[in-house]
């Protein structure tokens, strides 16, 4: 289903990608997948779940050069929309997304799916890619714009501690009230009025208790809404008290 906000997001992608000049990737695009461009969910976003990166997307990055940009944006958003509409199959992330929808079903709004990195490398993390600098730059611009447009009431990063330095770089200067609930397992902070939590990726079973806790905190935040603004810190104890260099 296409919505006005979906079109706004598509227009934003088009302008951003055109201004970025994707030809900058040409010398270092070997092994890169296509660009992950999430569609807009129906209704307000009560929770945005941010993963790491896709294992692949729309074939190779080379399609970006051969396809009209507007057409490419539409295809990437349609792929995202189709995956959300289909069964989760064996994807731990997709299963967790469905679990979050069930957990928050009594609260109006949608659970959105986004990623910290918009491009993967050889169906894995782009960190080892020669294009990593460009990928981080583009991904930051995309995710910041997605959050600005969709205005989620809470954000859950299931990116794991290994991605913390990239998460912090993405939101440099925006992170407030940082609290390490459990080292490497659960980190809580705010960006403005938005509750944010970072925990482990769903493919790691050992992180289940912390993902359950994170979803419960999101549910509590949504249920109490703005009434909790004056008491933004959870009763859970913080370890340290300030944002660490690497959690």
Residue-wise pLDDT tens for the chain (247 aa)? 567 899 999 999 999 999 999 999 999 999 999 999 999 998 899 999 999 999 999 999 999 999 999 999 999 999 999 999 988 777 899 999 999 999 998 888 899 999 999 999 999 999 999 999 999 999 999 999 999 999 999 999 999 999 999 999 999 999 999 999 999 899 999 999 999 999 999 887 776 899 999 999 999 999 886 454 445 455 554 544 433 333 3
**56: nearest Cα among 34, 80, 78:** 34
CA dist 198 and 81 (Å) reads 24
Question: What pLDDT does 117 receive?
Answer: 98
DSSP 8-state assignment for residue 22? G
Cβ–Cβ < 8 Å for 73, 11: no
Which pTM value belongs to this model? 0.89
88 touches 98 (CB < 8 A): yes
Could you give the CA distance from residue 183 to residue 161 in angstroms, rounded to a whole number?
Answer: 9
- At 161, is the secondary structure helix, strand, or coil? helix
Helices within 104-225 (DSSP H only): 132-150, 164-170, 208-224
* DSSP structural state of residue 77: H
Q: In the prediction, which pLDDT does 135 show?
A: 98
The whole-number pLDDT of residue 1 equals 52
Rounded Cα–Cα distance for residues 244 and 247 (Å): 6
Task: State how far the Cα of 209 lies from the Cα of 228, in Å rounded to an integer.
Answer: 24
């Amino acid at each position: 289903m296409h919505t006005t906000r979906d079109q706004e997001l598509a227009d934003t992608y088009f302008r951003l990608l055109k201004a970025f000049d994707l030809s900058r990737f040409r010398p270092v695009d070997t092994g890169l997948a296509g660009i992950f461009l999430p569609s807009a969910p129906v209704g307000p976003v009560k929770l945005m779940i941010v993963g790491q990166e896709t294992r692949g997307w729309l074939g190779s990055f080379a399609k970006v050069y051969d396809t009209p940009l507007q057409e490419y944006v539409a295809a990437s958003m349609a792929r995202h929309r189709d995956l959300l509409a289909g069964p989760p199959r064996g994807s731990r992330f997709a299963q967790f997304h469905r679990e979050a929808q069930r957990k928050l079903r009594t609260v109006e709004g949608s659970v959105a799916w986004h990623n910290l990195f918009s491009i993967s490398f050889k169906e894995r993390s782009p960190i080892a890619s020669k294009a990593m600098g460009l990928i981080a730059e583009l991904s930051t611009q995309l995710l910041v714009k997605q959050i600005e447009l969709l205005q989620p009431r809470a954000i859950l990063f299931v990116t794991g501690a290994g991605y913390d330095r990239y998460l912090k770089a993405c939101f440099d200067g925006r992170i407030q009230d940082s609290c390490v609930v459990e080292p490497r397992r659960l980190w809580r902070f705010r960006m403005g009025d938005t509750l944010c939590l970072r925990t482990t990726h769903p493919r790691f079973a050992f992180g289940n208790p912390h993902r359950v806790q994170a979803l419960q905190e999101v549910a509590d935040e949504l249920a109490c809404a703005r009434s909790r603004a004056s008491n933004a810190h959870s009763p859970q104890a913080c370890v340290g008290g300030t944002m660490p260099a690497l959690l």
